[in-house]
A and B are shown apart, each in its own frame.
Chain A
Amino acid sequence: MILQDYRIDLQRCSRCSLCKWLPLSQIKSWRFANACPSMVWGNFHAYSAGGRMIAALALLDGRIDYTDKLVEILYQCQMDGACDVSCKVNRDLDPLEVMLELRAKCVEEGQVLPAHMVMIESLKSDDNTLGEPKAERGKWAEGLDVKDITKEKADVLYFAGCRYSFDQDLRKIARDALSLLMKAGVDVGISGKEEACCGGRAFEIGYRGELTKYAEHNMETWKAAGVRTVVTPCSDCYGTFKFHYSRLGQEMNVEVLHITEYLDRLIKEGSLKPTKKVPMQVTYHDPCHLGRLSEPYIPWEGIERKVLGQVIVKDPPKEYRRGTSGIYEPPRDVLRSIPGLELVEMERIKEYAWCCGAGGGVKEAYPEFALSTADERIEEAMATGAEALVTSCSWCERNFRDALERSGAKIKLYDVVELLIEAL
């Protein structure tokens, strides 16, 4: 679909502002009632999903033209999808899809951010958005006795993702996760320096062709390697495989799992046995791409027709993604399996989780906004009284680390994998 296809929906926004809030019955306090980081950051209505739908309509109607402000508004958003969940409580609208289309239109029409152009240049030259040399991609796994699936067969491909591959602070998590699979006897391999970006971030910032290119490349690689399962520790990659690859309409032919799903499975099968106590109270942050954004794209082609005079129904009926089928329990079950560890919940969890702030090209283009969003989540985590904030995504981890370093907030930060390692 293109933006024009949503024109009718754009007009149907009622400006109710529900996209700014958690679904109303899910609000638990005045303090943590907001759903939309962008709105909290920008304050003008234009920064909400509803505001962007209006902006899209105004743009299509020729009421407004591109300005620096318009582009800033469109890109000061993590595309975290919380608005989409809240909107769909009572409406048959797709604000997240509209915002994705709006960014694609921007790129098509040359309205791009310098910071995003740098990402795309890096992607084109080195298959990652981080400006790192491709040749160093496999370094994170140096010294591990693991199969190289470009040379030998393995049942499972471990897909580290760009952030874990290149971020030296986080490489250990990627190694630890892989070690856990190997320890459990999983027939696992990696692509090393031949691994390429998932393409998800490029898609989110409007570069659609990059997603197609990397999706085709990755799926061909997996097919050629004959892997049955792809496991990734990166929630961004996971969300991309599940949500964005599925919109391309190609059969994946592999099972895609997040590392927490696989570890949960291994623990429940008895292949991994957490026995050491980790006496700690922790709270878990649901990464958007592992949660509400990991539901597969649901294609729909049809027409609207009227019944009962003016009731508008989609024919065939359209299914909506509402975030309910995200990966919420496996990471929690892994944490629950750790002796001595107590999990306490924040107010905004699962499909209603507050974003870490890193997504949608925000960390690269608007780092202050990214950190401000992370600060909010850290404050929410600290309000639980937990000693540690736990997550399962490299981008969340990076952004939280940066925010904690800046603020000095007194809370520890872990990946689920790190705590499991301590318990084994």
Chain B
Amino acid sequence: MALRKNVYRILEDIVGQQNISDEPVILDTYAFQWLAETISGTKFCSRPEAVLLPCNVEEVQAIIKACNRYGIRYKAFSTGWGPWNTVGGEGVIQLDLRRMNSIVEIDEKNMYAVVEPYVIGSQLQVEAMKKGLNCHMVGAGANCSILASATSMAGYGLTGIFMGYSNSNVLAVEWVLPDGEILRLGSLGSGDGWFCGDGPGPSLRGIMRGMIGALGGLGVFTKCGVKLYPWYGPPTTPMEGIHPLNGMPIPENYQAHSLTFPSWEALSDAVYRIGEAEIGYVMGRALPPGLIPVISISSAADYTQMLQMVTMDEFKYAIQIILGANSARELEYQKRAVEDILSETGGKIIQMMEEPSVKNILFRHLIKSEGISRVFQLAGTFATSLGAGTSWDTAVATGKIGEQLKRKYIERGAIADDGGDLAWGGTYQQGRFGHLEEIIMYDFQDADSLKGADEYVEESAQAAIDKSLGQPISIVRGMAEQFGPSSCDYHIWMKKIKKAFDPNTTSDPSFYIEPEA
């Protein structure tokens, strides 16, 4: 169903001829996605009817109003990585927010930044570091939109212990509602700037994004404020070593260690104690055993060799931690706290990871959030499973269950034999919440592997319901309906919200929810 010519012209008048296209080659590059094969059986999902590149909130609003007037659905994305960014079917246009790419403001004194959708984590981070600040980034990587993570998506980040979670970092928001009205949330709503998400002014954080985010199904977010946190290092962070295995020299107010424990229980206790001690700048299972080699390899061929060189048992119950402090004295306190926690839980520092060049690479991975896309490198692609925002104890239980579930798929050769344990995540807000998601690596070009991966994701989702592990981080269509009945019927509320905010269902509901009938 192509757009009617007059509608195309109306949209063209809004963004300009250069910023709209319905050329098949352009459309296909928006239909292609990671994990598309799990939806369509090919690498391509549905083609949008057209792609538009608006450059400001006025253009976004005009597009949305036109969509409401002419009965067209729209789907916006920022950096656009993952199948939830694709349109849900025919009759949907895609809004690529790439041209909205400014850091509007960094308020050093009040420690927040205001960003447009296409500012990526790396861009905000380097500008914040120049002012002694840093930003939270999701584990998906520093190539992802800061705004999208804050307003619209789920995703754990390893600075969570210090910087919390995306939904707690978002401040005031400029939001073009599904019907085209502009709503300014939080302090922005009362003309008081961007410093607060919850007032003075309307606070709709729960409706706007909840835990998971509306995934483009509830209008378009055009600017938002996000919290910034202290950065105790230098304003610029030159790398050393040879690309791509660069290391980031560890500034004097930081330390990086890998800690190992005798059991899941000891690890779990230690993580709680780290939270209670309110120490740690980055903390979590950044490198579960099967991923340890990836920090020292430049291609998949090196992986198996490196795997043989690593003593996997040491990493079985391991976490990585970065300590960061405002002073040498505070850093010393944190270091001693870690020593005490290790002593109390039977843990120790993994000496292999103390080698300076290895530590510097690890530090780069953790601070710069650059390495996670390596999970594509080994088997061609990956998927993740389980991983609710929950208590740390439940997160640990999730890790154990994930490992058990994976075993038979590894044994039948359907997914990569990563040792079974790729439970990735950590805690946020000083241990108040926990997150471990179970990653699988597989070859989507191998029918048996793809089938196995699909079956595993399905089985793990059912396990999450059966064992009350919470809603998984993996995003599939119909998820709310699947998990709602076991979670206070939240899907019913989502349907009501969708209907109230989007009376014409123009904001593509495919990865959010269909409105109440």
Question: What are the residues of chain B within 8 A of A306 when measuring CB–CB?
Answer: 443
- Pairs A–B under 8 Å by Cβ, sample size 21: A12-B376, A15-B34, A15-B81, A18-B373, A23-B244, A23-B246, A23-B370, A24-B143, A25-B248, A25-B368, A28-B126, A30-B127, A45-B96, A46-B25, A54-B28, A57-B43, A58-B44, A67-B25, A91-B377, A311-B378, A317-B299
Contact A90 B443 (CB under 8 A): no
Contact B25 A8 (CB under 8 A): no
Closest A residue by C-beta to B373: A90
Contact B368 A24 (CB under 8 A): yes
When A16-B143, A324-B242 are in contact, do A44 and B51 touch as well, CB less than 8 Å?
yes
Q: Which among A16, A54, A318 has the greatest number of chain B C-beta atoms within 10 A?
A: A16
* A70 interface residue per 8 A CB criterion: yes
* B120 interface residue per 8 A CB criterion: yes
Closest A residue by C-beta to B85: A15
Closest B residue by C-beta to A316: B301
* B487 interface residue per 8 A CB criterion: no
* Bound-complex Cα distance A111 to B418 (A): 46
Question: What are the residues of chain A within 8 A of B414 when measuring CB–CB?
Answer: 309-310
In the complex, which of the residues B28, B243, B303, B369 contacts A351, with contact meaning CB atoms closer than 8 Å?
B243
* Bound-complex Cα distance A65 to B243 (A): 38
* Bound-complex Cα distance A210 to B248 (A): 45
Contact B126 A27 (CB under 8 A): yes
Binding site for B on A (CB under 8 A): 8, 11-18, 21, 23-30, 33, 43-46, 50-51, 54-55, 57-58, 63-65, 67, 69-70, 73, 85, 88-92, 306-314, 317-318, 320, 322-324, 351
Q: Which among B99, B244, B376 has the greatest number of chain A C-beta atoms within 10 A?
A: B244
Interface residues of B in 370-398 (CB under 8 A from A): 370-371, 373-374, 376-381
In the complex, which of the residues B53, B81, B446 contacts A44, with contact meaning CB atoms closer than 8 Å?
B53
Q: Which among A51, A89, A324 has the greatest number of chain B C-beta atoms within 10 A?
A: A89
Contact A63 B28 (CB under 8 A): yes
Question: What are the residues of chain A within 8 A of B51 when measuring CB–CB?
Answer: 44
Interface size on B, residues (CB 8 A): 77
* Bound-complex Cα distance A415 to B365 (A): 38
Closest A residue by C-beta to B380: A12
* Bound-complex Cα distance A97 to B110 (A): 48
Contact A308 B142 (CB under 8 A): no
Contact A309 B410 (CB under 8 A): yes
* Bound-complex Cα distance A45 to B31 (A): 11
* Bound-complex Cα distance A11 to B410 (A): 23
Q: What 9 pairs between A and B have smallest CB-CB spacing?
A: A317-B301, A308-B417, A310-B416, A14-B34, A309-B417, A310-B379, A69-B23, A51-B29, A89-B244
Contact B126 A17 (CB under 8 A): no
In the complex, which of the residues B32, B123, B377 contacts A33, with contact meaning CB atoms closer than 8 Å?
B123
Q: Which among A23, A65, A308 has the greatest number of chain B C-beta atoms within 10 A?
A: A308
In the complex, which of the residues A29, A57, A311 contacts B416, with contact meaning CB atoms closer than 8 Å?
A311
Q: How many Å from the CB of B422 to the closest CB on chain A?
A: 13
Question: What are the residues of chain B within 8 A of A92 when measuring CB–CB?
Answer: 299-301, 377
Contact B300 A311 (CB under 8 A): yes
Question: What are the residues of chain B within 8 A of A15 when measuring CB–CB?
Answer: 32-34, 80-81
- In the complex, besides A28-B126, A89-B370, 19 extra interface pairs with C-beta distance below 8 angstroms are A8-B445, A12-B445, A15-B81, A25-B248, A30-B124, A33-B123, A43-B19, A44-B29, A46-B26, A54-B32, A67-B24, A90-B370, A307-B304, A309-B414, A310-B415, A310-B441, A310-B442, A310-B443, A312-B443
Contact A63 B24 (CB under 8 A): yes
* Bound-complex Cα distance A320 to B297 (A): 13
When A12-B376, A14-B376, A90-B244 are in contact, do A314 and B28 touch as well, CB less than 8 Å?
no
Question: What are the residues of chain A within 8 A of B205 when measuring CB–CB?
Answer: none
When A46-B26, A73-B25 are in contact, do A27 and B123 touch as well, CB less than 8 Å?
yes
Q: How many Å from the CB of B237 to the closest CB on chain A?
A: 8
Question: What are the residues of chain A within 8 A of B81 when measuring CB–CB?
Answer: 14-17
Binding site for A on B (CB under 8 A): 19, 21, 23-26, 28-30, 32-34, 43-44, 51, 53, 79-81, 96, 98-99, 103, 119-124, 126-127, 141-143, 236-237, 239, 242-244, 246, 248, 298-304, 307, 364, 368-371, 373-374, 376-381, 410, 413-418, 441-446, 449
Question: What are the residues of chain A within 8 A of B28 when measuring CB–CB?
Answer: 54-55, 58, 63-64
Contact A33 B120 (CB under 8 A): yes
* Bound-complex Cα distance A25 to B378 (A): 22
Q: How many Å from the CB of B117 to the closest CB on chain A?
A: 13
Closest A residue by C-beta to B47: A63
* Bound-complex Cα distance A12 to B441 (A): 13
Question: What are the residues of chain B within 8 A of A314 when measuring CB–CB?
Answer: 300-301
When A310-B416, A313-B301 are in contact, do A90 and B445 touch as well, CB less than 8 Å?
no
Contact B33 A30 (CB under 8 A): no
Q: How many Å from the CB of B225 to the closest CB on chain A?
A: 17
Q: How many Å from the CB of B296 to the closest CB on chain A?
A: 13
In the complex, which of the residues B53, B239, B303 contacts A311, with contact meaning CB atoms closer than 8 Å?
B303
* Bound-complex Cα distance A154 to B242 (A): 38
* Bound-complex Cα distance A64 to B413 (A): 36
In the complex, which of the residues B23, B244, B376 contacts A322, with contact meaning CB atoms closer than 8 Å?
B244
Q: How many Å from the CB of B32 to the closest CB on chain A?
A: 4
Closest A residue by C-beta to B302: A317
* Bound-complex Cα distance A89 to B376 (A): 12
Question: What are the residues of chain B within 8 A of A307 when measuring CB–CB?
Answer: 304
In the complex, which of the residues A11, A21, A29 contacts B445, with contact meaning CB atoms closer than 8 Å?
A11
Contact A25 B416 (CB under 8 A): no
Q: How many Å from the CB of B256 to the closest CB on chain A?
A: 15
Question: What are the residues of chain A within 8 A of B79 when measuring CB–CB?
Answer: 17
Contact A311 B379 (CB under 8 A): yes
Question: What are the residues of chain A within 8 A of B33 when measuring CB–CB?
Answer: 15
Q: How many Å from the CB of B458 to the closest CB on chain A?
A: 18
Q: How many Å from the CB of B60 to the closest CB on chain A?
A: 16
Contact B44 A45 (CB under 8 A): no
* Bound-complex Cα distance A312 to B124 (A): 35
* Bound-complex Cα distance A286 to B160 (A): 39
In the complex, which of the residues A17, A33, A64, A318 contacts B25, with contact meaning CB atoms closer than 8 Å?
A64
Contact B370 A58 (CB under 8 A): no
